[in-house]
Structure 1
Amino acid sequence: MTATPPLPPEALDRLHAAVRLREGGAAEEACEKLLALSATYPEDPLIAYQTGWAHDVLGREGAAVPFYERALAGAEALDVEDRHGVYLGLGSTYRILGRYEEAVTTLEAGLVAHPGDGALTVFLAMARYNTGAHHEAMSALLALLAESSTDPGVHAFRKAIAYYAEDLDLVESDG
């Protein structure tokens, strides 16, 4: 795959303006601007990512997928934070669309690229739940809870929660 050429300054300015619109609550206007940019620069992964995100914000998950997929295909050109966002955006979008296996695959790849990430772990657990992998989903959530919770009650039982996360089906004999 050939590297995507850098965006000209004018295109970067338009991209940043559209992102500010989305962040400011003007998602529809942002989406329109991003679609225009995407038509001009269809291979740019950052524009594709931001266009997918704008569609997601508007509840247009089905329309977001091709943009996220295009962004993922060029993810090596993205910075770490944007790559993370692509994995999370595409994986969670697949999940909400009922494309559970694709969600699991995408979110697992995200965790390979971003080990230990809490958001990816949670969305992967939801996708695993949807595929019927309840044990794996619950174990991942318990491990994350034991590791990251600041709740005093959880903190007091952190070791036990982490232990059970390893083997939820463990039953101790009484003798």
Structure 2
Amino acid sequence: MLAGDLYDPSDAQLVGERREARRLVRDLNATTEDELDERADLVEALFGSTGAEPFVEPAFRCDYGYNLHVGDGFFANFDCVFLDVCRIEFGDRCMLGPGVHVYTATHPLDAAERARGPEYGKPVTVGDDVWVGGRAVLNPGVTVGDRAMVASGAVVTEDVPADAVVQGNPAEVVKRLD
């Protein structure tokens, strides 16, 4: 799975790992604004690695959690979804608007093979100082360069260069930042 090879999502070990992640996610989503220390502890328990002061607003969803790696000052607003069958990595000071979705999971193009149920994944990497606007989608295999901005509602299907603003579906560079 982590190598990007086809895998069986109904494998008992994977089902158990998703079940454990869902337990932690349920606990995270049940925290209140008066329980920020508990929320931070749950993020650290769920994610594969965190930098200093990660902040995740409920409600949050992910598949495994241990494939999520965030740098210092990571912030995810309400209703973010990370399908982390492969590594999802955010650099330092990344901020996500509400409802951002990051997908590493994908499926075979061949209909007969897809019907048999195997899946595979491609990692997503986001550099430092990146802003991803609300309801944007980062698709499997993309890299977003340092200091880039992904506009609200953008659907990122290809790599985003550093110091660029992208928008649209599919996302296109509309401005270069100095």
Query: Which has more radius of gyration?
Result: 1
Does TM, normalized by the shorter one, top 0.5? no
TM-score, normalisation: structure 1: 0.32
Task: Report 1 or 2 for greater relative contact order, CA contacts < 8 Å, sequence distance ≥ 6.
Answer: 2
TM-score, normalisation: structure 2: 0.32
